Structure 1
Amino acid sequence: MIKTFIIHVSKGYEERRKHIDSHLPSRGINEYEYMLRGDIDDLSDAVRHEFFGSKLSLAEKSCFYKHYLVMKEAVEQNIEQVLVLEDDALLVGSFTQDFSLILSELEGKSNYFANIEEASNSVPLSVRKSNQYLYPCKVNKLCGGYVFDLVFAKKMVEYIESQQIDSPIDGLIGDKIDELQFNLYWVHPPVVKQGSKVGMFESQLSGRTSGLYATVRSWFKEGYRTHIRSHVSKKQKALFENVTKY
């Protein structure tokens, strides 16, 4: 199985860990590693004030740093391919089969970041092709679930360590596609949702709450963006046109 890391805060998020430890095995993932380093309390003054600028909250800095540490781990251990999930991940029932097909489509490719999450936007109907999972795109989604290779990890780690960071991890990845020259893919159909986006968990980053109201609100808001706007917006379709290959 592909090397798998879970982005997780070690204190105060015990319910999320219980969720992962029961949910992932039910979806065929029995071996995974929690990234526990990088909690807010663990961030040194140098990391808080020199590694990062002043625009991000402490929660955003911690989240970014954990994702960075996973990429750093891949570089240091020379891991060729990595799956990353945040600790509120909800995997589709057919995850094992779908993910196997995604990995098969990634075979022979290099220098990539593949976003496997359903997050507000989707690949337009006019772009989709039968039996195709990967779609080159000009922007990133959120970082609740993704796959990257070692070539991408080396580029991103080198860049991050040369800059003072002032962007969330998902935004930075999307902003640096052309500068760092890597291939970014959206996967359709997506195979991961974030539980915090559907009201299952609260989110310190976004301010989302859990419960019935949050679930219904998310269903309408995210449903419109995903299932209607994504298919009628010319701007959305343009994200998948004339994408540079690296």
Structure 2
Amino acid sequence: MIKTFVIHVSKGYEDRRKHIDSHLPERGITDYEYMLRGDIDDLSDDIRNHFFGESMSLPEKSCFYKHYLVMKRVVEEKIPQVLVLEDDALLEPDFLDQLSLISLELRKQSKYLVNIEEASSLVPVSIRVPKQKLYLCEVNKLAGGLIYDYSMAEAVVTYVESYTQDAPIDTTLGKLRHLLGYNLFWVHPPLVKQGSKSGLFDSELSGRKAGFYTAFRAWFKDNYKKHILSNLKAKHLAHFKNITKY
């Protein structure tokens, strides 16, 4: 089984930990590790000044730093491949079966980032190929579900330790693709949704509150973006065409 990390805030988010400890075993994942370091309280002045500019909020800096610490572990322990989930992850029922198919397509790949999250955006119908899971893309989604290898983690860690960061982790991973020379893939169908986007949990990053109204509004926007914008918006379609492969 692929090494699995869960990005989690150690205090005040017990409902999310309870969710993960119930949900992941239901989906067949029983061996996983929480990344508890990197809470806001852990962000000393030295860490903030070394890693970050002033444009990000403290929750964004904490989220970024936790993802960085996972990548640092991958590099230090020479982990060949890793699955990283955020603690509001909702996995598809056939998650492990789909993960096996993705792994088959990744056998000959190296230095890659695979975004397995839905994030209200899909690979356009016109781009999809029957039975194909991975699609090269120019941009990243959010960071609720990621798969990447040692080479990609090593490149990102070196970069993050060398330059001040001014954008959230999901944006940064998209922008670094060409600079660091790694392949960025979207998965279809996606395997992960974020509970904080669907109204199941409050969102510290956006301030969005859980509840029926949030869930209903999210459902409407989600379906519009997935089924209309993903297929008709020219800018979105362009993200999958004439893509440089490293």
**Matched AA of 2:58:** L
Structure 1 stretches of 4+ with a deviation exceeding 3 A read none
- Once residues 153 and 51 of structure 2 are traced to their aligned partners in structure 1, the CA distance between those partners, rounded to angstroms, is 18
**Matched AA of 2:135:** Y
1:71-114 Cα distance to aligned partner (Å, 9 max, x none)? 00000000000000000000001111111111111111101000
User: What's the counterpart of residue 229 of structure 2?
Assistant: 229
User: What's the counterpart of residue 213 of structure 2?
Assistant: 213
Please report how far the alpha carbon of residue 43 of structure 1 lies from its aligned counterpart in structure 2 after TM superposition.
Answer: 1.1
Please report how far the alpha carbon of residue 233 of structure 1 lies from its aligned counterpart in structure 2 after TM superposition.
Answer: 1.3
User: What's the counterpart of residue 120 of structure 1?
Assistant: 120
Uncovered stretches (5+) of structure 2, i.e. residues with no partner: none
1:185 and 2:185 equivalent? yes
User: What's the counterpart of residue 12 of structure 1?
Assistant: 12
User: What's the counterpart of residue 160 of structure 2?
Assistant: 160
- Once residues 120 and 176 of structure 2 are traced to their aligned partners in structure 1, the CA distance between those partners, rounded to angstroms, is 21
**Matched AA of 1:8:** H
Q: TM-score, normalised by structure 1?
A: 0.99
Please report how far the alpha carbon of residue 176 of structure 1 lies from its aligned counterpart in structure 2 after TM superposition.
Answer: 1.2
- Once residues 198 and 121 of structure 2 are traced to their aligned partners in structure 1, the CA distance between those partners, rounded to angstroms, is 15
- Once residues 102 and 143 of structure 2 are traced to their aligned partners in structure 1, the CA distance between those partners, rounded to angstroms, is 17
1:34-70 Cα distance to aligned partner (Å, 9 max, x none)? 0000000111111122221100111100000000000
**Matched AA of 2:126:** S
Partner SS, residue 53 of structure 1: coil
RMSD value, Cα? 0.6
- Once residues 97 and 180 of structure 2 are traced to their aligned partners in structure 1, the CA distance between those partners, rounded to angstroms, is 32
User: What's the counterpart of residue 195 of structure 2?
Assistant: 195
**Matched AA of 1:211:** G
- Once residues 132 and 13 of structure 2 are traced to their aligned partners in structure 1, the CA distance between those partners, rounded to angstroms, is 36
Please report how far the alpha carbon of residue 118 of structure 1 lies from its aligned counterpart in structure 2 after TM superposition.
Answer: 0.3
User: What's the counterpart of residue 130 of structure 1?
Assistant: 130
Q: Give the number of equivalent residue pairs.
A: 246
Partner SS, residue 189 of structure 1: coil
Please report how far the alpha carbon of residue 190 of structure 1 lies from its aligned counterpart in structure 2 after TM superposition.
Answer: 0.2
Please report how far the alpha carbon of residue 141 of structure 1 lies from its aligned counterpart in structure 2 after TM superposition.
Answer: 0.2
Of all paired residues, the percent bearing the same amino acid is 61
**Matched AA of 2:56:** L
Pairing 1:1-246 to 2, within 5 Å after superposition = 1-246=1-246
**Matched AA of 2:118:** E
- Once residues 180 and 42 of structure 1 are traced to their aligned partners in structure 2, the CA distance between those partners, rounded to angstroms, is 28
- Once residues 47 and 223 of structure 1 are traced to their aligned partners in structure 2, the CA distance between those partners, rounded to angstroms, is 40
Uncovered stretches (5+) of structure 1, i.e. residues with no partner: none
Please report how far the alpha carbon of residue 120 of structure 1 lies from its aligned counterpart in structure 2 after TM superposition.
Answer: 2.0
Q: TM-score, normalised by structure 2?
A: 0.99
- Once residues 207 and 81 of structure 2 are traced to their aligned partners in structure 1, the CA distance between those partners, rounded to angstroms, is 32
Moved more, 94-103 or 83-92: 94-103
